[in-house]
């Protein structure tokens, strides 16, 4: 996506709404917001992995695309005392979807972040109109929400990614990076058999990630299969899901906005609109069907339209 080494990003604040994790105090540029400090935390939670992809700002967090970026992390992990927790075993990776709404309001209003990364869908307790209202309010404040489309392979993105106010991030695979016979290689082979492949000149070849939700609500794509990450134990693992493409889009957009004077001088809703225009200008056509790529894959060398 046009990033060869971590980039300094000093003017943009990123909000992340996800499951809390141990070790957050070791990241100097991260501010941690939690409503339930008594809930057990994991070291390598889903939220930890998302932060690892964004920042390399501390020991053990050296995978990220950005350095010196301010991150406000809102822990929306399901609390054992929540009415939604019936039958759930703790510690859990499950989100409290009501806290997701609260997080959107808090990060966009009280904190005033520029972008919110939401690498999860809201499928159960949330009433769509309440979620939509929170996101519309965030946009009016100048905050753009970027959300993963989901991994069910449906031809419709999950909520909130499919809302028009949200940037929905679907998945793509980078071709020819996996050893023969591996899962990633087999997924590439299936995509090739279905003619779901493409390329970007000077960048490389790609294939449609079949598990990614697409079509309605898909705005951009980013790698979501064969993504490697160093965990807290030092082990390197590969991860899969649109959850992990989402912070890549958030990161490259943040870097671009960090240098965009028009954006930095804008306020309220025009700020969010400028962010969306900049993202559109960054996107490169991969050659997929539009339902499988939206505007394409964001690259740092793009220009705002």
> pLDDT tens, position by position, for the chain (305 residues)?
767 678 889 999 999 999 888 877 778 889 999 876 556 677 788 999 999 999 876 555 567 899 889 999 999 988 756 655 555 555 557 788 889 999 999 999 999 999 999 998 887 556 789 999 999 999 999 999 999 999 998 788 999 999 999 999 999 999 999 999 999 999 999 999 999 999 999 999 999 999 999 888 999 999 999 998 888 788 888 999 999 999 999 999 999 999 999 999 999 999 999 999 999 999 999 999 999 999 999 998 744 44
pLDDT at residue number 124: 59
pLDDT at residue number 60: 54
Structure tokens at 155: 């031809």
pLDDT at residue number 11: 96
- Coil/strand/helix, residue 17: strand
pLDDT at residue number 94: 79
For domain 7-298, say whether CATH 3.40.50.2300 is its number.
no
Query: Cα(54)–Cα(67) distance, rounded to whole angstroms?
Result: 8
pLDDT at residue number 304: 46
The DSSP call for residue 158 is P
pLDDT at residue number 305: 47
Give the bridge partners for 77, in sequence order: 95
pLDDT at residue number 75: 93
pLDDT at residue number 38: 57
Domain boundaries, the chain: 7-298
241: number of CA atoms within 13 Å, CB side? 17
pLDDT at residue number 82: 62
97: number of CA atoms within 13 Å, CB side? 15
pLDDT at residue number 303: 47
CA dist 101 → 83, 122, 128, 136, 160 (Å): 16, 10, 10, 11, 10
Query: Cα(173)–Cα(274) distance, rounded to whole angstroms?
Result: 28
Structure tokens at 211: 């598990």
């Amino acid at each position: 996506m046009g990033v060869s080494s971590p980039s300094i990003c000093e003017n943009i604040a990123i909000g992340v709404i996800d499951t809390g994790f141990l070790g957050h105090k070791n990241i100097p540029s991260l501010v941690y917001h939690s409503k339930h400090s008594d809930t057990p935390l994991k070291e390598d939670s889903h939220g930890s992995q998302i932060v690892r992809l964004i920042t390399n700002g501390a020991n053990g967090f050296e995978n990220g695309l950005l350095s010196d970026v301010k991150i406000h992390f809102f822990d929306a992990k399901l609390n054992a005392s929540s009415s939604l927790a019936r039958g759930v075993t703790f510690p859990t990776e499950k989100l409290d979807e009501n806290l997701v709404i609260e997080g959107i309001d808090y990060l966009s209003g009280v904190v005033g972040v520029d972008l919110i990364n939401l690498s999860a869908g809201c499928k159960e307790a949330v009433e769509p109109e309440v979620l939509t209202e929170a996101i519309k309010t965030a946009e009016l404040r100048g905050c753009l929400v970027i959300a993963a489309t989901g991994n069910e392979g449906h031809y419709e993105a999950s909520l909130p990614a499919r809302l028009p106010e949200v940037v929905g991030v679907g998945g793509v695979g980078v071709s020819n990076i996996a050893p023969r016979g591996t899962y990633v290689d087999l997924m590439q082979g299936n995509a090739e058999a279905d003619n779901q492949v493409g390329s970007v000149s000077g960048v490389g070849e790609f294939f449609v990630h079949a598990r990614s939700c697409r079509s309605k609500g898909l705005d951009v794509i980013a790698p979501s299969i064969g993504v490697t990450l160093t965990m807290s134990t030092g082990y390197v693992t590969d991860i899969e899901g649109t959850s992990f493409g989402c912070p890549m889009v958030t990161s490259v957009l943040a870097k671009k906005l960090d240098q965009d004077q028009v954006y930095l001088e804008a306020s309220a809703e025009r700020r969010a609109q400028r962010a969306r225009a900049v993202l559109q200008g960054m996107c490169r056509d991969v050659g997929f069907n539009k339902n499988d790529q939206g505007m394409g894959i964001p690259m740092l060398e793009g220009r705002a339209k």
